Structure 1
Amino acid sequence: MEISLFLSFLGFFITAVILVVAFLYLYAIVTPYDDYNLIFEGNNIAAALGFGGAIIGVSIPLYSALVHSVSYIDFAIWGIIAILIQLIFAFIVTRLNGKYSFKSKIVQGVIPVGILMAFLSIAIGLLNAGSMSY
């Protein structure tokens, strides 16, 4: 194996991991509740499910960007776009009020709402990924 191929792999892989870490940080800012506190201090299963779904949801379009990109810069740009789409989705969904308030239900630990949040995040991730298969 050529060292240049391995270095190329490392560049793409490390960038993808950095993008996921950036997403984890920004997702916690975008949601109106403290994801990390709910999960690590409150043992809130609904928050953990929603957060886990968001991680999968952003990883799917990042994978698509890795597979379909024609260069490193192309991947980085599409990776950032993927993150922005997922963050916009999370911002909008967690701001719904009333009977369908994700914010209040997740804070209360309502597991079906956490599952729904996870599935919605994954669905948006799949649509996000499919939209970038150019």
Structure 2
Amino acid sequence: MDPLSLPSLSSPEVQAFAAGFPTTLLHAAVTSVLLFVGATVYALLTPWKEIELIRQGNSAAAVAFGGVLIGLAVPLAVSMSASTSLLEITLWGLAALVIQLLVFRIVDAVLSGLPQRIQEGEVSAAVLLVSAKLASAVILAAAFSG
């Protein structure tokens, strides 16, 4: 077979892709829903309203909320990669969300004064907050990977 030619539709690689791709899409969809739920819960729990501030052009709020999305996505992605079924993805994903939301609240409390500074548009405060949230996300993801 010419190395540049396309594999036939009956090749093992194409068959494996055809069998696995729908499952991959389903796993990604469940994880994406968990991310959306986590981000929504976080937005509801914070003392400031990120989406409203972002719509008003507050860069600090955008940076802070972007950090939340990445901070939730990292452990969710590891949960998905370490899981073998939808139920397992959901259970580990929910555990990741609960733990990460708790950690986010602790970080927000420890770094007191930052919510007000973010509301005032101070990007340096948002970067510090995001850094703490991403650090906790990486640690949590490592814990999930065993």
- Report the counterpart of residue 20 of structure 1 in structure 2: 35
- Report the counterpart of residue 143 of structure 2 in structure 1: 131
1:93: Cα distance to partner?
A: 2.8
Are 1:117 and 2:116 matched, yes or no?
A: no
- Report the counterpart of residue 10 of structure 1 in structure 2: 25
Are 1:52 and 2:50 matched, yes or no?
A: no
Higher Cα radius of gyration? 2
1:27: Cα distance to partner?
A: 1.0
Distance 1:131 1:49 in 2: 26
Gaps in structure 1 of 5+ consecutive residues: none
Matches within 5 A, 1:59-74: 59-74=73-88
Using the size of structure 1 for normalisation, the TM-score is 0.89
Once superposed, which parts of structure 1, at least 4 consecutive aligned residues long, lie more than 4 Å away?
Answer: none
2:106 to 78, 83, 92: 92
Aligned residues: CA RMSD: 1.6
**SS of match in other structure, 2:145:** coil
Give the counterpart letter for 2:114 in structure 1.
Answer: F
- Report the counterpart of residue 9 of structure 2 in structure 1: none
**SS of match in other structure, 1:8:** helix
Larger relative contact order (C-alpha < 8 A, sep ≥ 6)? Answer: 1
Aligned residues: 131
Using the size of structure 2 for normalisation, the TM-score is 0.82
1:96: Cα distance to partner?
A: 4.7
Give the counterpart letter for 1:72 in structure 2.
Answer: L
Superposed CA offset, 1:65-122 (max 9, x none)? 111113221111111111112211222233457xx41211111111111011111111
Distance 2:135 2:67 in 1: 9
